[in-house]
Amino acid sequence: MMPPLIYSSDQNKYFAEELASFIGTTSCDVRQMTQHCHLYLSDSGLSFFHPEARSTKKFKIDFNSGTTRWRINRADHEKLIKKALGKHEAPLNILDCTAGMLQDTLLFLSLGHKVTAVEQSKILFCLLNDAINRSNDQEIFKALTLINANALSYKAKAEKFDVIYFDPMYPVSKKNALNSGQLDYITKILATESIDNDPIKDFEVLSSMPIKKMVIKRPIKAEPFSKKINYQVLGKTTRFDVYI
């Protein structure tokens, strides 16, 4: 069942009702605040709370502070991503099938590419839209189209993209579970929405699309999804498997 959306004041009531209707839940005012799982809309934006999350803070995406870390991760990651995308004369049209926190999409955008990013979770999609609206840098998002859907539904449109990017959830290991409170929250959001992916099956559908190039982000030691891999770009903990 979807968690309720609680709004902080009457000023947020109308927007809270709109969001709640999109997500498929109910909205209520702050007098009905609960310690159970909920979404919270206040003047400072939209957040998600889960009582069993490792972090006691509500989860909110913020592109203005360091919390999304994309700028910090940028230098190392940028080299690898550039290599994985390969040589190209004009900016690329990229389909990011796994928007998540938009960290990789932001790298693509900062390299001058055009991105359609697809996120299946309605809650995460609303948190992302809220963070984009609050971002001090609106310029970077001009080349982004953010969509709430399962990326597999893009089968018919795959041909118009130069690159398809796929970064499925890593299998939960003790190490990565402890490292990232954000990943923990994404896992909680997907469980709340009863979304359960099978990355291998998703890969099979995506690779059957009429694609020019597919880049898959994997943990460094994970098995590739297919032996038909063309090349790999290796980082310290992550690698990119490239299929052409």
Binding-site ranges for ligand SAM (CB under 6 A): 97-98, 100-104, 118-121, 124, 150-152, 167-169, 186, 190, 197, 202
Which CB, 7 or 240, lies closer to ligand SAM? 240
Looking at the Cβ atoms of 90 and 156, the one nearer to ligand SAM is: 156
Taking the complex as a whole, the smallest distance from the CB of residue 220 to ligand SAM amounts, in Å, to: 15
Closest contact distance (angstroms) between CB of 216 and ligand SAM is: 11
The beta strand positions in 21-85, using DSSP E, are 27-29, 38-42, 45-49
For 74, counting Cβ atoms within 10 Å of its Cβ (0-12 exposed, 13-18 middle, 19+ buried), the class is: middle
Number of residue whose CB is nearest ligand SAM? 100
Phi and psi of 84, rounded to 5°? -65, -35
Q: How far are the Cα atoms of 60, 150, 151 from residue 145, in angstroms, in the given order?
A: 21, 15, 13
Which CA distances in Å does 27 have to 3, 22, 35, 121? 9, 11, 16, 18
Report the residue number, 19 or 124, with the smaller CB distance to ligand SAM.
124
Q: Which is nearer to ligand SAM, 85 or 124 (CB)?
A: 124
Nearer to ligand SAM, 149 or 234 (CB): 149
Largest CA distance in the chain: 57
Positive or negative, the Cα torsion across 189, 193, 198, 202?
A: negative
Least Cβ distance, residue 51 to ligand SAM (angstroms): 21
Rounded to a whole number of angstroms, the CA Rg of the chain reads: 18
